[in-house]
Chains A and B, each alone.
Chain A
């Protein structure tokens, strides 16, 4: 006879207006297990987490803690029950220090009129050091996104919780930070804390979790011990159909095209120095490295979004001196931002207007008036080609799921028929189905002669998708890996600068 599970969900339903986010789902979390919750975006994972954390109220069904029915009417009530949720999106006070953020809940209930900063800093540093050596007197706004994510996790750790729910905690973390997080999560499990772990990354789930539950379209599909399923099984359950091939076929090794983009000695005087890069038509070039290594900055500088101090960029053999991004777009060099909501799409504008934003000139008539018919035609054609699921091209982008928002952002890049497209984290935070579609599209683009550069922090994506991977470390090209040399270890070693003496081959690749 085992104990009652620490958390049990029975017959839970939730609707937002006419949309059923969850119908009659169940979920059981055992004491001291790490339980993966999987599903495509819109499957209802976050809705369920928000109900357990008291942010949303269920329409029907029961939540049981230690076998007893509870109603969790507010986040404070969830905290009292020992439930902590780390949101996927960072919700920290940007102007407060790390310590103040970590202990916000405790400060909130303290009765003493004055703050004891010394104790606050000491306690906070103790918690923070478990994760990463981030000084707790730093203002949160001065931290990188990945460090902010770690602060969010530290904040949850201080709540003395029994149930910890992590919603895509590694989405913004580098490989090494993620590994540190995994060992911490395992440590929490040792201490008897039960963890719900939401992630899109199969490798993580399979190395970390004990059991896995899959949701699809707001319904419960199955719960299995991790040992009893394979990643393919899980993907199949998530999408409800067979995905035969996760990554499209690569380029045959003997067919490199002409050089389409050539960058020499590029520096911006701050974040990176002396970057050389050569992209051939038809290939997908990967750009790996730690977050903050300067990959995005290099890409943005190539496209004229940031100023360069020295170096040259040549497109199709022609020297390029973009004075702004607009100039780069005109000659067919486009950049897809990694921050979809922040700088990729206009959430409250219609899909058609989003797609046309990159080059209004081609849709403008002689009187400076926008040709709305042409705009609509373009939007319909591109959304059709990319398979954007939407109510119509006039729907606001905010009504779409993450994957479809990303497709709109990509459609915007394609609207100018680019020669070279640089994509910064093109599949971050989107579900498997959309991911596969985007990978196929990239391969198809490359096949049609477009030069494609993919910046990614997800190693399986770099390895599975790219023909060649350049690794950036601290603003310099640390090395390049050809298709037959690609492997997680090889990339990590170049990215982190750790030389493995047993593997001399890597050292030879360091430029």
Chain B
């Protein structure tokens, strides 16, 4: 290689390196957080592989993945909603309502696929109603969704008259969504990975989702940039409920039943996962990948506690402490920065 050529190559290498640095910088904080979570999760896995012979088995991993895959779909919506500066306490109720409505329609004679679509549609309408109260009436997300949580739970009880719907007559082609697998890979996990991949990509790249960050970071500045922030907030609220509805339908396929009390308390686990993964309750920051890692961490901890024969009564307390620790570390890092 001539000196001139090698010089050019060097310049090119530099430009490329500069490009790489830029990519890293773009989500520097987020990626730091994500890398930290991966390290913690790996460390836990390694420690557990010594502590329990059952931990590092495909069966256990499959069980862990299954356990958070469906919730993971809800986490995706919640993370986007947190980024826009909102929150949704009603997701657990909406998951249940979607399940109950689809189940009841199926029992009334509808085919399960149509019934599920209606269930998801009804969930979207609940989101639209919340979006209306937030953007048109001007209430905040917390109160609106708190009310929705209670109302929708009540609707679950009304539809089912308080008793679980038994859906063992669901056709096996439908049940396969929740129970079947493709070459040994459960459909549930496939759906989860697809949903996560799509929304993670969109959130990073799509113009529409960039507006979510603008709105959450500084709503007024977004308005002064010509962004219709109410529209953004409305549609993100609808999206979150719709994804909860999708999760509800998958749960129905998985359990072959619809219980009117299902999903109570789920919202806390989901918000915790998103926040551990770096989403801020003040809006403007968060990644889907981080939120899923947050979910994975909580799941690995739960699995570890079970394998270590720790009483289930301890689980909630320990999860709560992890949330507190994650948020404290985050707060500390941010305060250091400014």
Binding site for B on A (CB under 8 A): 305, 324-326, 328-329, 335, 337, 339, 342-350, 353, 357-361, 363-364, 368-370, 372, 376, 392-395, 398, 412
Tell me if B26 and A343 are in contact (CB < 8 A): no
Contact: A346 with B338, CB < 8 Å?
Answer: no
Knowing A305-B224, A325-B223, A394-B25 touch, does A347 contact B217 (C-beta < 8 A)? yes
Task: Tell me if B227 and A368 are in contact (CB < 8 A).
Answer: no
Closest residue of chain A to B283, judged by CB? A348
Docked Cα-Cα span, A231 to B19, in Å, equals 45
Contact B224 A346 (CB under 8 A): no
State which size class the interface on B falls in: 20 to 34
Q: Are B225 and A412 in contact (CB under 8 A)?
A: yes
Chain A residues within 8 Å of B278, by CB: none
A346 close to B284 (CB less than 8 A): yes
A358 touches B228 (CB 8 A): no
Question: Once the chains are docked, how many angstroms separate the CA of A364 from the CA of B210?
Answer: 11
Q: Which residues of B contact A335 (CB under 8 A)?
A: 224
Within 8 A of A (CB), among B118-143: none
What residues of chain A lie closer than 8 Å to B222, measured between beta carbons?
Answer: 346, 357
Residues of chain B in range 1-43 having any CB-CB distance to chain A below 8 Å: 21-22, 25-26, 28
Contact B210 A342 (CB under 8 A): no
What are 15 A-B contacts defined by CB distance under 8 Å? A305-B223, A305-B224, A325-B223, A325-B226, A335-B224, A342-B218, A343-B221, A344-B224, A348-B285, A353-B213, A357-B227, A359-B226, A361-B207, A376-B22, A395-B25
B26 partner, pick from A324, A350, A361, A364, beta carbons under 8 A: A350
Contact (Cβ within 8 A) B221 A344 = yes
* The 9 nearest A-B residue pairs measured at CB: A326-B226, A343-B220, A394-B25, A357-B225, A346-B217, A325-B226, A364-B207, A343-B224, A360-B207
Name the residue of chain A whose CB is nearest to the CB of B282.
A348
Q: From known contacts A353-B213, A358-B226, infer whether A363 and B207 are also in contact, taking CB-CB under 8 Å.
A: yes
Report the separation of the CA atoms of residues A329 and B213 in the bound assembly, to the nearest whole angstrom: 20
Partner of A398, one of B26, B225, B228, B338: B338
| A394→B28 CA distance, assembly (Å) | 9
Residue B159 is within 8 A (CB to CB) of chain A in the complex:
no
- Kindly list chain B residues whose C-beta atoms are within 8 Å of the C-beta of A348: 217, 284-285
Closest B residue to A360 by CB, please name it. Answer: B207
Q: Is the Cβ of B224 less than 8 Å from the Cβ of A360?
A: no
The CA of A392 and the CA of B28, in the complex, are separated in Å by 13
Please name all residues of chain B whose beta carbon is closer than 8 Å to the beta carbon of A344 when the two chains form the complex: 221, 224
Let me know if A349 and B220 touch, CB within 8 A. Answer: no
In-complex Cβ contact of A337 among B22, B205, B214, B224 (8 A): B224
- Within the complex, the shortest CB–CB distance from A301 to chain B, in Å, comes to 14
Supposing A348-B285, A350-B26, A368-B206 touch, asked if A343 and B214 sit within 8 A by C-beta, the answer is no
Contact of B211 with A by CB under 8 A: yes
A392-B225 contact given A346-B217, A347-B218, A349-B284, CB 8 Å threshold: no
Residue-wise, chain B 153-178 has the 8 Å CB interface mask toward A (1 for contact) of 00000000000000000000000000
Whether B312 is near chain A, meaning CB under 8 Å from some CB there, is: no
Give Cα A39–Cα B41 distance, bound, in whole angstroms.
49
CB nearest neighbor in B for A327: B226
Are A342's CB and B207's CB within 8 A?
A: no
Distance, CA A76 to CA B22, complexed state (A):
45
B317 at the interface (CB under 8 A from A): no
Instruction: Name the one of A358, A369, A392 contacting B206, with C-beta atoms under 8 angstroms.
Output: A369
User: What's the Cα separation between A303 and B189 when bound, in Å?
Assistant: 50
Cβ contact within 8 Å between A368 and B25: no
Contact flag A357-B206 (CB < 8 Å), given A324-B226, A337-B224, A392-B25: no
The residue on B at minimum CB distance from A352 is B26
For the complex, is B185 an interface residue (Cβ under 8 Å from A)?
A: no
B27: shortest Cβ distance to chain A, in Å?
9
Task: Decide if B25 touches A360 in the complex (CB within 8 Å).
Answer: no
Residues of B in contact with A (beta carbons under 8 Å apart): 21-22, 25-26, 28, 205-208, 210-211, 213-214, 217-218, 220-228, 284-285, 338
Given known A358-B225, A360-B210, A368-B208, contact A345–B218 (CB-CB < 8 A): yes
**Min distance, Cβ B205 to any Cβ of chain A, angstroms:** 5
CA distance A339 to B222 in the complex (A): 13
A346 nearest in chain B by CB position: B217
B25 contact set on A, CB distance < 8 A:
350, 392, 394-395
Chain B neighbourhood of A360, CB < 8 A: 207, 210-211
Q: Find the B residue at minimum CB distance from A356.
A: B210
**Known contacts being A346-B217, A349-B284, is A369 close to B225, with CB within 8 Å?**
no
The answer to whether A329 touches B226, judged by C-beta atoms less than 8 angstroms apart, is yes
> Smallest CB–CB gap between B89 and chain A, Å?
25
Residues of chain A with a CB closer than 8 A to B26's CB: 350, 394
Give the complex CA separation of A429 and B326 in angstroms: 37
Distance in angstroms between the alpha carbons of A339 and B217 in the assembled complex: 15
Provide the bound-state CA to CA distance between A110 and B54, in Å. Answer: 64
Chain B residues, CB < 8 A from A376: 22
Q: List 13 additional A-B contacts (Cβ < 8 Å) besides A344-B221, A346-B221, A372-B205.
A: A342-B218, A345-B218, A346-B214, A346-B218, A346-B222, A349-B213, A349-B214, A350-B26, A360-B207, A368-B207, A370-B206, A392-B22, A395-B25
How many angstroms between the C-alpha atoms of A344 and B223 in the bound complex? 10
How many angstroms between the C-alpha atoms of A339 and B22 in the bound complex?
30
Q: Counting chain B CB atoms within 10 Å of each CB, which of A357, A358, A376, A412 scores highest? A: A357
The answer to whether A394 and B22 touch across the interface, beta carbons within 8 angstroms, is: yes
Is B228 within 8 A of A342, CB to CB? no
Asked if A326 and B227 make an inter-chain contact with CB atoms under 8 angstroms apart, the answer reads yes
B284 touches A357 (CB 8 A): no
How far, in angstroms, from A398 to B205 measured CA to CA in the complex? 23
Given A346-B284, A349-B217, A325:B207 Cβ within 8 A: no
Cα distance A324–B220 in the bound complex, in angstroms: 14
Q: How far is the CA of A315 from the CA of B139 in the complex (A)?
A: 38
The answer to whether A357 touches B207, judged by C-beta atoms less than 8 angstroms apart, is no
In the complex formed, the residue of B with least CB distance to A369 is B205
Complex contact A370–B217 (CB within 8 A): no
Residues of B within 8 A of A412 (CB): 225
User: Which A residues touch B284, using CB under 8 A?
Assistant: 346, 348-349
A325 touches B224 (CB 8 A): yes
Chain A CB count within 10 A is highest, among B28, B207, B221, B338, for B221
Q: Are A342 and B220 in contact (CB under 8 A)?
A: yes
Task: Tell me the bound Cα distance from A368 to B217 in angstroms.
Answer: 21
| Residue picked from B25, B223, B226, B227, most chain A C-beta under 10 Å | B226
Asked if B226 and A345 sit within 8 Å, CB to CB, the answer is no
Please, which residues of chain A bring their CB within 8 A of the CB of B223? Answer: 305, 325, 343
Per the bound structure, the CA–CA distance linking A368 and B205 in Å amounts to 9
Chain A's closest residue to B225 (CB) is: A357
